[in-house]
Structure 1
Amino acid sequence: MGADRVADAFAAVPREWFLPESARARAAHDGPIEIGHGQTNSQPRTVAAMLRLLDVRPGQRVLDVGSGSGWTTGLLAHLVGPEGEVRGVELEPDLVAFGRANLARGDWTWARIDPTEPGVLGDPSGAPYDRILVSAEARSLPAELVAQLGDAGRMVAPVDGVMLLVEHVAGSARVSRHGRYRFVPLR
């Protein structure tokens, strides 16, 4: 995916729509911004790097794990377009409501945010997915998310301080490392 598609998504999905009212003036800040419940709206430069690694294409089915404010769900919705589908999952009930309200500011009827079940990682019942974005840090690569990737699927996830790209190739997972990052923990 060219940088232009990611830049277009950033222009079409304003970060300020996905921040608490008191933080909207800081939307241009290239750093994480607290959204409550120990969660953040991630640093834009980090989100852009993750989206470029994920290489989202129009028409794909994408899972957004740890959707938080809904910003990444909106960005992914823009990238897949109306022929695609994005499902955001979030553990914190207040953030599910916050993310849904924020996502409703745009016209992305093919994207939604749902509460995740405690103890269930991702959306095994909706699998397989073409792309999975994980916006919280795991201690080790979550095998249950890798199992939700379809053929030729890609997952981007921060694991133990390193951004990993997992590519599902010929029935097996190929993992590559792409820099050090800090995220809130995956629960």
Structure 2
Amino acid sequence: MLRNTTTRYGWAAIILHWLIGLVFIGQFALGWTMVRIASQRTSFELIQLHKSFGFLLLGLVLIRIGWRLASFSPELPEEVGPVERRAAPAVHLALYAAQLVVPLSGWALVSVSVLEIPSMPFSLFVMPHLPFQVSEQAENFWIFGHKWLAYAAIALVVLHILAAFRHHFWLRDVVLVRMISPFFAGRARGPE
């Protein structure tokens, strides 16, 4: 059950989904915290950790997109209406875009920073900077962009979570459950 079927997600998609979700939400919390800490030393250490997880997130998202392109997604349950059928792919595409753009904007930020501090993901290697011009103006632009892209992305994540809860608790269909285990029978749950 590694691969997706027409009715179920396989373990690869499920593990990538939850791992990326946890890292993405953790990154938002870490980013929000690191800029509000009074201790410069602690803030610096959290920023380095944030950069490490940002590069990890970028790699995981690229793997997930590759996996998604190489396989297919289960069809939506029959109960899902036409408006939601059209909206779901657009929201998923926006989530993928956000998961790429936010870490890329962070990479751009550290690449143009006048501090020119190297990025060393998890102290394993030096990640080269993007070939952008270093300047205070560019750094301010990317600080603003990274921050507001992250806020927009977390809003999309909250929308995604609320939609999953709606499917599970209100519509009582399989949309959420099939992203938990590929062994779910694939039928909608009836009233209990």
- Same fold (TM > 0.5): no
Bigger relative contact order, structure 1 or 2, given CA contacts below 8 A and separation 6+? 2
- Answer 1 or 2: which has greater helix percent: 2
Give the greater-gyration-radius structure (CA).
Answer: 2
TM-score (norm 1): 0.28
TM-score (norm 2): 0.28
